[in-house]
Structure 1
Amino acid sequence: MKQLPSMTNTYLFETSRLGFRTWQNFDLDVFAAINADPEVMRFFQKPYTREETQAMMDRMQRLYEERGHCYFAVDLLDTKELIGTIGLGWKTFEADFTPCVDIGWRIGKKWWNQGLTSEGAQACLDFARQLGIKEVFSYATVTNHASIQVMKKIGMHFCYEFDYSELKDFPHLRQCTLYKIAL
């Protein structure tokens, strides 16, 4: 599915292959398709509906307005296709490491295994440094080996495993691994 280019084509920051921006209304169809894919969402409670995707995009816009960062919309620069999201969140759930800035990602299957997530995550850490953020956390279900590999690739260090309180009703997802990097 082709992504329509934004009218301004203005990115907050770029890598050699990726452009990072805030969310636009025209992102909904592509991002909803990514979020509806059971394989992409296998480490989440369930695939997202179109409405849940819109709510996530709206939350990210508010987070960007409040904190200057969010899980950004990420385009492949060559084609202007939306590949998914990579960025910085703000976590406040009950844990001994929260509240904290976290880094996370979700990209469509078409773009897996091309180094795009690691490239984008590294750019987000650089952006976090520019914002004066001193440390960033990331966590994933212990069986999400691809995400854990990205954490290691971008220089994050293992802290410990924990039971994620918001996944108490999902025993197969509840055990998570926590990584951290000082900036």
Structure 2
Amino acid sequence: MASLPAFATQRLRLRPWRSSDRDWLWRMQSNPATMEFLMPVPDRAASDAVADRAEAHFTRNGFGLWVVEVPGVTDFAGYAGLVHVPYEEHFTPAVEIGWRFDPAFWGHGYATEAARACLGYGFGPLGLEEIVAITVPANRRSRAVMERLGMTQVDGGDFDLPSIPEGHPLRRQVLYRLRGGQG
């Protein structure tokens, strides 16, 4: 994975995955606070599958979910990046920006800083015209990050995430978008 892109912000380093990240990922994803607005990751194998998908996306596309380091503090605060939306919906095909951080690193602006760097990569070297973000309506923290990034909620853009069972409280999602040159 050494040939894949990595970059730094003022306080963070975004890099491809290493095998040692899987232990950190499992600890983060087994924390109920981290997963409050996400479907639970039931075991270590399912957590490793998240890393497998992230690595496979990088291999196929040359971009994906980068591990976020805080130099001098931690080698794994979480991850942030860009992925192709893997399902059909009214806004696809699309590239989605996403992030997930260990609660120990919430409240420091790391998600916004990492996501801003990912947007720069998406609109710069990747030449994307638009990037979307989704979350459940109740996830005020992630929605606040989206708004700080200059993303706007799409009127009438709410939809049901097909990977979540009907009737589940996390099925309904709100859609945000940002077009290149905005934000």
Give the TM-score normalised by structure 1.
Answer: 0.90
Letter in 1 for 2:13: G
Pair 1:41–1:170, CA change in 2 (3 A): farther
CA distance in 2, matches of 1:179, 1:94: 16
Secondary structure of the corresponding residue to residue 169 of structure 2: helix
* Matches for 1:111-122 after TM superposition, within 5 Å: 111-122=105-116
Aligned-pair distance for 1:92?
A: 2.5
**Gapped regions of structure 1 (runs ≥ 5):** 1-7
Of residues 156, 179, 182 in structure 1, which corresponds to 2:179?
182
Match of 2:170 in 1: 173
When structure 1 is superposed on structure 2, of 44-53 and 128-137 the one drifting more is 44-53
The answer as to whether partners of 2:41 and 2:47 remain within 8 angstroms in 1 is no
**In 1, Cα distance between equivalents of 2:167 and 2:139:** 15
1:137 to 125, 132, 135: 132
Distance 1:113 1:21 in 2: 22
Once residues 147 and 68 of structure 1 are traced to their aligned partners in structure 2, the CA distance between those partners, rounded to angstroms, is 25
Distance 1:109 1:169 in 2: 29
Residues 5, 62 of structure 2: 8 Å contact kept: no
Count of residues paired in the alignment: 175
Deviations 1:100-123, CA, capped at 9 Å, x for gaps: 100000000100011110011000
Q: Percent identity?
A: 29
Q: How does 1:33-182 map to 2 (within 5 A)?
A: 33-129=27-123, 130-159=125-154, 160-182=157-179
Q: Quote how far apart the aligned CAs of 1:47 are.
A: 3.2
Q: Which has the higher helix share?
A: 1
Secondary structure class of the residue paired with 1:103: strand
2: CA distance between counterparts of 1:28 and 1:92? 22
**What TM-score comes out, normalization by structure 2 length?**
0.90
For residue 113 of structure 1, what is the amino acid of its counterpart? Answer: G
1:113-163 CA distance string (max 9 Å, x none): 111100110000001122111110000000111101100000111113222
Q: Any idea what SS the aligned residue of 2:20 has?
A: helix
SS in 2 for 1:167: coil
Answer whether contact 1:38 1:47 (CA < 8 A) is retained: no
